[in-house]
Chain A
């Protein structure tokens, strides 16, 4: 039935990122034209030259805040957005770029650039929620496009989106996978990682590496003995937590717990 109500405006904004999460929207090949009929795509630079002025009904925000300019820009985006949804590990946890948070960024610039003085960057990569109010978060590096569609269709029909916050283990059971850690002794972060990928890595016979970030309640201390029993060293475990959600507090704490156990040994050696 034709409706006279004005179609909602959808905008997509990018901060420091690989473009993968917004690409998930363009990867909805079967749904894209239908979605485009249901909304007005008001700003989506990766896909369109068209820019409509705000305010926007739904803004999808990809990427983390890594420059002084972006720290300003996200405030403008927030001011123009009725509902702001962050998409992906960069936007929700600082992403892989947050590895700089624990190191000397000036040293990084020297490693990469001959003229670091041309480079304007912050010492940290921080999630959007550290800067402005966020209404909903979609996890993952990258996000799962089915979850994106679920959130968009809920918002478009004025429903509250419902995203499961349990661990990858639950998805493994739903999928009927044999546990890679129990059956094959493969270290796996599934027990502490947020669901959403459909338990992909265990389905492909490898351990989960935590790209959806921490689940709602995690027991990383409890997982440690199982990882060690599976042959992982404290160094290995620390590195695994320090990837795509390194600055998410539960993963950051878990990494530090491992580093504490390594350092005394280093001290003895020195």
Chain B
């Protein structure tokens, strides 16, 4: 019997995508994650723009993770201009990123993904039976947003991020007033991890290549080498030598592969597996308490990795705020020059790589951006190929829900993924 699982408009993901799995008998014959979000040409828009405008423009790639775009852009441009933010400015950037991880992960865990595990069509329906958990989730998300708003000016498309630092640094009071809410939300997050650990996780494992940044002594945000569990360990400048992007007809986003191998996974579960030893005590203890430890090859448990990262981000945010004293200047002075720079940071959904070439006045000559969702796209399709035989044995409606849940494991940000890079068609040997 020929049958097709088809979702014409994926819900509870950011952006516009569709899913088709075709079967011949019990065997899948085609799996397509179709991204039909209109193409958004950001790399072309960036040409001719001044380097100071870049953080504001790239933020508009994604309303959910604008900070990630701003951070990767700043680091890449600072790399080109030969400067490094250190000390307090670096700590403030980590703090801002903590806020974004919390709000983005909080949105995904409580509003987009948990309803799959508990059998609801959305968090609002879920709140009728589980109001206290949805309320805690909203509280967690709000606390993350409060950090971004205090430091960045507003939650979506923050205005305070500048190449070299910030336009204005906060006073001690502007940050310390956040502490009570952060302490409460941290406690709530620990409870929520215990709660989520009891979800029924479908038995599904795959031997993934996990790719993430790894830093000498921190859980990765803005810096580190690009590593994988299959032996990759490279400087971010060598990214293009080791990764390739392929265009496929059914998607306005590009597929990424590790050269010479195949699909890979980036994002919270990759970071967790590769950097468990870099977690703070509080997050590590919480994970061990619910027996969530690496290696974890069940991608449905990415939800738990997000919860652990929420705990990590709260813990780190509180530590940064306690140790904060305003620096002398809000930003390092910058002089434009002709150069190329690279930046790679860990967006909530995974590694986000940027490269810019500037002219001698600081105008962008060329930009290249590789967002996490296009990196994960092929990995999502591979998951669905492997899941397909299980789906074939399920009733149609349940199979469709399970397939959508599998896509949501990656928290795909489809809007993000459709503004890609310039690429060459690569032949994989």
A residues apposed to B, CB below 8 Å: 14-24, 26-27, 29-30, 32-33, 36, 41, 44-51, 66-67, 70, 95-97, 99-100, 103, 105, 107-109, 111-115, 118-119, 121, 141-142, 197, 200-201, 203-206, 209, 211, 236, 239, 243-244
Contact = CB atoms under 8 A, between A and B. Distances in A.
Contact of A67 (B38, B50, B156): B38
B49 interface: yes
Contacts of B416: 18
28 contacts: A14-B15, A15-B38, A17-B415, A20-B66, A21-B63, A23-B156, A32-B138, A33-B124, A41-B122, A45-B11, A46-B13, A48-B11, A48-B121, A48-B124, A49-B11, A108-B44, A111-B41, A112-B39, A115-B249, A121-B38, A121-B39, A142-B154, A200-B153, A200-B159, A204-B153, A206-B159, A236-B50, A239-B50
A46 B107 CA distance: 11
B164 to A, nearest CB: 13
Contact of B39 (A18, A27, A113): A113
Contact of B157 (A20, A47, A203): A20
Contacts of B153: 200-201, 203-204
A206 B156 contact: no
Contacts of A45: 9-12
Interface in B402-425: 404, 413, 415-416, 419-425
B147 to A, nearest CB: 13
Given A142-B154, A203-B153, A243-B56, 9 more contacts: A19-B63, A20-B63, A36-B124, A48-B121, A96-B57, A99-B45, A100-B41, A114-B425, A236-B50
A112 B157 contact: no
A243 B419 contact: no
B226 interface: no
Contact of A14 (B16, B127, B167, B419): B16
Contact of B40 (A16, A48, A115, A203): A16
Top 4 nearest A-B pairs (CB, nearest first) are A20-B63, A48-B122, A29-B142, A108-B44
Contact of B156 (A24, A30, A32, A33): A24
A45 B13 CA distance: 8
A65 to B, nearest CB: 9
A30 B127 CA distance: 14
A140 to B, nearest CB: 9
B154 to A, nearest CB: 6
B252 A119 contact: yes
Interface string B11-47: 1111110000000000000000000011111111101
Contacts of B262: none
Contacts of A121: 38-39
Given A24-B156, A48-B12, A66-B38, A113 B247 contact: yes
Given A113-B420, A141-B157, A205-B167, A96 B60 contact: yes
B75 interface: no
Nearest to A44: B122
B111 A27 contact: no
Contact of A23 (B16, B64, B122, B162): B64
B60 A18 contact: yes
B53 interface: yes
A195 to B, nearest CB: 15
Contacts of A206: 159-160, 162, 167-168
Contacts of A141: 60, 157
Given A108-B41, A119-B39, A27 B157 contact: no
Given A118-B249, A142-B156, A239-B50, A19 B14 contact: yes
Nearest to A89: B60
A70 B38 CA distance: 9
A19 B38 contact: no
A105 B38 CA distance: 13
A243 B12 contact: no
Nearest to B63: A20
B256 interface: no
A107 B422 CA distance: 12
A165 B138 CA distance: 32
B420 A19 contact: no
Contacts of B131: 33
